[in-house]
């Protein structure tokens, strides 16, 4: 996939990190999904889920040696910065889930897996993720994803709360782009999916939802969640939810404005789109998502700053 870190991307930002007026001038792209939910659920057999590739990005121009988190050239040795999350069916852990989707046409065609988080919204049905988990930009990109669904509390193939196909997919104008040669800006690598009700019930009525925050100070303690699916280490096989805890480690000023946020985390491809949770007044809020990493720096993840552009996307998607 073209763009930032895909299913396990990595990235960092500057002190205030508000999106510029030009970044928010164009309206977010919201694309209705025409394929019936039942057809999407039927498509995702256990075998297809098991063989879905962790979404990955082709090398980017984010500086010398930059590439998607899914790079096969990652250092063989890594610090154990991750921990496996237990009790994934309990709140708020169950708001995290695995994302599955298909790209049709072009060199990126195939089935992929990312991560996502159910967040509070007016629609009661919103999943927050990375832009590259909903849209593949550029002249060789596949465009909108299809067969998109969210599986909350996914664990070792188990789906305790079922599968939730998307009824619409949305991303930022700076990620989607306005022509075949632009788009894919990692500073705006946000995606959102409104999922269809199941048996008359909305997603947050079944599993609950995380709060979401915009325009927060960068200097926070982050808990990044995701389903890394590329080893090493061997436990990164996409079957389980993992988490990294890290303070703010700085910004990637080669991206943006606003620059992206860097944290210490060794999760790999498949973790892309997983929420970064901060604590404010003893409550957890999603404040970024996993986006990209750099070759040779496997212990750092990068996420876009959640400023005005992300807020506009949230509202357009039904937040």
263-280: pLDDT as tens digits: 999 999 999 999 999 999
Task: Please state the rounded mean pLDDT for residues 1-30.
Answer: 43
Q: In this predicted model, what pLDDT tens digit does every residue of 162-181 receive, in sequence order? A: 999 999 999 999 999 876 66
| Cβ-proximal residues to 140 (8 Å cutoff; 6+ apart), any chain | 2, 106, 107, 108
20: left (phi over 0), alpha (psi -120 to 50) or beta: beta
pLDDT at 139: 74
pLDDT at 145: 95
pLDDT at 38: 96
Taking 90 as the threshold, does the pLDDT of residue 89 lie above it? yes
Taking 50 as the threshold, does the pLDDT of residue 24 lie above it? no
Instruction: Give the residue, 157 or 80, on which the prediction is more confident.
Output: 157
CA atoms within 13 Å, Cβ hemisphere of 271: 40
pLDDT at 25: 54
Task: Please state the rounded mean pLDDT for residues 304-315.
Answer: 97
Provide, rounded to the nearest whole percent, the portion of the chain with pLDDT above 90. 69
Task: Please state the rounded mean pLDDT for residues 33-44.
Answer: 96
Provide, rounded to the nearest whole percent, the portion of the chain with pLDDT above 70. 83
pLDDT at 65: 30
Least confident of 12-16, 152-156, 184-188, 303-307: 12-16
* CA atoms of 238 and 178, how far apart (whole Å): 33
Q: In this predicted model, what pLDDT tens digit does every residue of 52-80 receive, in sequence order? A: 999 865 334 344 333 333 333 344 434 57
Instruction: Give the residue, 318 or 203, on which the prediction is more confident.
Output: 203
Kindly report whether the global pTM for this prediction surpasses the value 0.85.
yes
Does the domain spanning 6-316 belong to CATH 2.40.10.120? yes
Task: Please state the rounded mean pLDDT for residues 218-242.
Answer: 92
Task: Please state the rounded mean pLDDT for residues 100-118.
Answer: 94
* CA atoms of 15 and 253, how far apart (whole Å): 11
Taking 80 as the threshold, does the pLDDT of residue 6 lie above it? no
Task: Please state the rounded mean pLDDT for residues 99-113.
Answer: 93
pLDDT at 56: 65
Taking 50 as the threshold, does the pLDDT of residue 15 lie above it? no
Residue 29 pLDDT class (50, 70, 90 cuts): confident
């Amino acid at each position: 996939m073209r763009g930032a870190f895909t299913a396990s991307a990595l990235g960092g930002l500057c002190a205030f990190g508000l999106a510029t007026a030009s970044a928010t001038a164009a309206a977010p792209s919201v694309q209705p999904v025409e394929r019936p939910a039942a057809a999407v659920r039927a498509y995702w057999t256990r075998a297809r889920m098991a063989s879905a590739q962790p979404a990955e990005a082709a090398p980017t121009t984010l500086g010398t040696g930059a590439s998607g988190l899914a790079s096969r050239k990652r250092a063989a040795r890594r610090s154990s910065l991750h921990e496996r999350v237990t009790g994934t069916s309990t709140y708020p852990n169950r708001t995290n889930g695995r994302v599955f989707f298909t790209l049709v046409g072009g060199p990126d065609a195939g089935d992929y897996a990312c991560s996502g988080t159910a967040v509070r919204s007016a629609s009661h049905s919103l999943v927050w993720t990375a832009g590259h988990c909903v849209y593949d930009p550029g002249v060789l990109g596949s465009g909108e994803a299809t067969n998109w669904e969210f599986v909350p509390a996914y664990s070792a193939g188990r789906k305790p709360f079922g599968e939730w196909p998307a009824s619409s997919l949305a991303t930022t104008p700076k990620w989607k782009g306005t022509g075949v040669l632009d788009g894919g800006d990692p500073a705006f690598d946000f995606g959102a999916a409104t999922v269809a009700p199941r048996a008359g019930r909305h997603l947050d009525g079944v599993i609950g939802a995380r709060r979401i925050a915009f325009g927060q100070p960068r200097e926070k303690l982050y808990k990044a969640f995701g389903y890394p699916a590329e080893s090493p280490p061997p436990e990164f096989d996409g079957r389980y939810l993992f988490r990294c805890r890290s303070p703010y480690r700085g910004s990637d000023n080669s991206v943006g404005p606003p620059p992206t946020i860097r944290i210490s985390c060794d999760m790999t491809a498949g973790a892309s789109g997983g929420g970064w949770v901060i604590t404010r007044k003893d409550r957890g809020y999603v404040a970024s998502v996993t986006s990209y990493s750099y070759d040779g720096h496997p212990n750092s993840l990068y996420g876009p700053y959640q400023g005005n552009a992300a807020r506009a996307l949230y509202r357009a998607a039904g937040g």
